[in-house]
Chains A and B, each alone.
Chain A
Amino acid sequence: SQTIHQWPATLVQPVGSPLSLECTVEGTSNPNLYWYRQAAGRGLQLLFYSVGIGQISSEVPQNLSASRPQDRQFILSSKKLLLSDSGFYLCAWSVKGLNYGYTFGSGTRLTVV
């Protein structure tokens, strides 16, 4: 069966520090991968998505970046965190095709101080 792993679960980082959040999927190949951010009590904002290795689409210009070095690995990074980067980050994967929704990771709660 397919599983998605996302870590860490919580993170407290100082302003200006780097960030690396990792997401891996098991039990499937060539998935679509997604990074979303959710501010407290708000909806989901799509940050990046990838349909294949090295293919990244950015939805929101900001100081975050994403990479997909392997088929089932998706990494969210920042060189220098801002206070506004605080939030709940969710990774998700889907099979390619219209009828398929997402399976989400358990999320990372990031607090920038």
Chain B
Amino acid sequence: DAKTTQPPSMDCAEGRAANLPCNHSTISGNEYVYWYRQIHSQGPQYIIHGLKNNETNEMASLIITEDRKSSTLILPHATLRDTAVYYCIVSKTGANSKLTFGKGITLSVRP
């Protein structure tokens, strides 16, 4: 599976949009981009995933560049409860696909 690169941390103000970047320059055509987050002392929680089109759900939006070498997770109106470690993961489809977590990015939402 392709590796991902994320900055170690970022912060944003409550109520503002949080834009979390991820680089995955070696992604291949059959690999999806997944985002999970982990709030302190809890297990990771699925947020969203996509292949090449932008995706949106009730939690977030995922913007994938046209060359698929990078993506951005957008939390449109960050709250204090969004403070967590966010993991960007690239994973193949098909049999033997697996989720390999990196170090993630720590998002701190300030009041």
Q: Do A and B associate with each other?
A: no
